[in-house]
Amino acid sequence: MKTQNWSARLAPYKTADNIRAINEFFLTAVPLALMWVTIAWLFNTGSLIAVFAGIALMIPAAGFLVRLFILQHDCGHGSLFSSRAANDWFGRILGVFTYTPYDYWRKQHAAHHATSGNLDGRGMGDIDTMTLSEYQALNSWGRLRYRLYRHPLVMFGLGPAYVFLLEHRLPLGTKRHELTQWIGVIATNIGILLTSWLLVMAFGLTTFLLVQLPLVVLSASIGVWLFYVQHQFDETYWDVKPAWTHAHAALHGSSYYDLPKPLMWLTGNIGIHHVHHLSSKIPFHKLPKVISAHPELKSIGRLTAWESLKCVRLTLWDEHAKRMITFREARTMVAG
């Protein structure tokens, strides 16, 4: 599908809606706060059934925390509010609750949007993806490290926990002269400490740890999963310049994760990712309108929830076949 006209066709959807943004915040933050308090209360009852109920409630609570991150994500693109200052300051405040320093993350994510699908632009704000030839050129230790990195337990478990709990606390990859990012990280850490102290005073240290840590880790894993399937699918797009173009990579290198409507709402429509990459200025709540108005977009990079499970095995970009392949397929090619 041709991509050169999409910028003009999507322009009507780029207008921010301040009232809608505030409503979306309360629709997200209030249920999240209520669920947090309810889980804490269930854990303190001493009943085994109540504890299991609290654990079950942790799943939707993590979903709402992911949705809060989507609001912060839109702030980073300047699309949630009409004012840049409102986007930036609201995004920084939300970063305290998502454990994500806004200014640092925004730069990383901007690099992801600028280089998505560009084999020469990998390494910042994305999931490390090797080509088949790069992987075959590695020694045994290099292959083992990459295989461990791409293992599901690391990719969707240990990795997200490390990033959101530790790496975001001290972004060592940031240059020291980038004061805005460093100040943002320190301010976010202070905000996390203050809110944590208030929760500890209200509910106790043990309850706080039992609720907050699993909630952050679970939401981080969900977020990484969403980010993964948005770009690591069979028919994604990678290339090098001059063949690589931003518009083509946006449309064909990002998936349309067609989730059931309740899950699409809970994840802030981020599954309509190809449209988001085509025009990141479109507020998240307007993405479904784009799909409805332009049904031809529904067939591009479409993944159902069931089909997305197959993406876990895809680990390498075969630059000759122009598709993602598995480690098993890579071994077969070596053997052949």
Q: What is the pLDDT of residues 91-143, one digit of tens each?
A: 999 999 999 999 999 999 999 999 999 999 887 778 999 999 999 999 999 99
Structure tokens, 18: 């301040």
User: Who contacts 141 (Cβ-Cβ below 8 Å, separation ≥6)?
Assistant: none
Using omega within 30 degrees of 0 as the cis cutoff, is the peptide bond preceding 101 cis?
Answer: no
Q: Could you tell me if 95 and 110 are in contact, meaning their C-beta atoms sit under 8 angstroms apart?
A: no
- Confidence at residue 333, expressed as pLDDT on a 0 to 100 scale: 73
For the segment 283-306, what is each residue's pLDDT rounded down to a tens digit?
Answer: 999 999 999 999 999 999 999 999
- Confidence at residue 219, expressed as pLDDT on a 0 to 100 scale: 98
Main-chain phi, psi angles of 131, to 5 degrees: -80, 165
For the segment 14-35, what is each residue's pLDDT rounded down to a tens digit?
Answer: 999 999 999 999 999 999 999 9
Q: Could you tell me if 274 and 255 are in contact, meaning their C-beta atoms sit under 8 angstroms apart?
A: yes
Residue 225 clears pLDDT 60, i.e. is over it: yes
10 Å Cβ neighbour count for 311? 21
| Distance (Å, whole) CA 224 – CA 142 | 23
Main-chain phi, psi angles of 317, to 5 degrees: -100, 115
Label residue 176 by pLDDT band (50, 70, 90): low
**CA proximity to 40, closest of 217, 220, 219, 206:** 206
| Distance (Å, whole) CA 291 – CA 268 | 14
For 78: left if phi > 0, alpha if psi spans -120 to 50, otherwise beta; the answer is left
Label residue 334 by pLDDT band (50, 70, 90): low
Ranges of each domain in the chain: 16-335
Distance of CA 109 to the CA centre of its chain: 10
Long-range contacts of 327-332 (CB under 8 A, 24+ apart): 327/147, 327/150, 330/132, 330/135, 330/136
| Distance (Å, whole) CA 149 – CA 142 | 11
What is the value of pTM for the model shown? Answer: 0.93
Instruction: Please identify which residue in the block is written with the tokens 């083992």.
Output: 144
For 59: left if phi > 0, alpha if psi spans -120 to 50, otherwise beta; the answer is alpha
- Confidence at residue 336, expressed as pLDDT on a 0 to 100 scale: 45
- Confidence at residue 179, expressed as pLDDT on a 0 to 100 scale: 80
Q: What average pLDDT does this structure show over 157-166?
A: 95
Q: How do 256-257 and 323-325 pair as beta strands?
A: unpaired
> Which neighbouring-strand residues pair with 224?
none
| Distance (Å, whole) CA 69 – CA 196 | 18
User: Who contacts 204 (Cβ-Cβ below 8 Å, separation ≥6)?
Assistant: none
Structure tokens, 244: 């690589």
Instruction: Please identify which residue in the block is written with the tokens 């102290």.
Output: 197
| Distance (Å, whole) CA 234 – CA 254 | 11
**pLDDT averaged over every residue in the chain:** 93
Query: Running DSSP on this structure, what letter comes out for residue 118?
Result: B
Q: What average pLDDT does this structure show over 195-217?
A: 97
What are the CA-CA distances from residue 185 to residues 83, 102, 103, 115 (Å)?
A: 23, 8, 8, 24
| Distance (Å, whole) CA 69 – CA 112 | 17
Residue 44 clears pLDDT 70, i.e. is over it: yes
For the segment 244-284, what is each residue's pLDDT rounded down to a tens digit?
Answer: 988 889 999 999 999 999 999 999 999 999 999 999 999 99
- Give exposure, 175-207, as e/b (b: 16+ Cβ within 10 Å): eeeeeebbebbebbbebbeeeeeebeeebeeeb
> Which neighbouring-strand residues pair with 118?
239
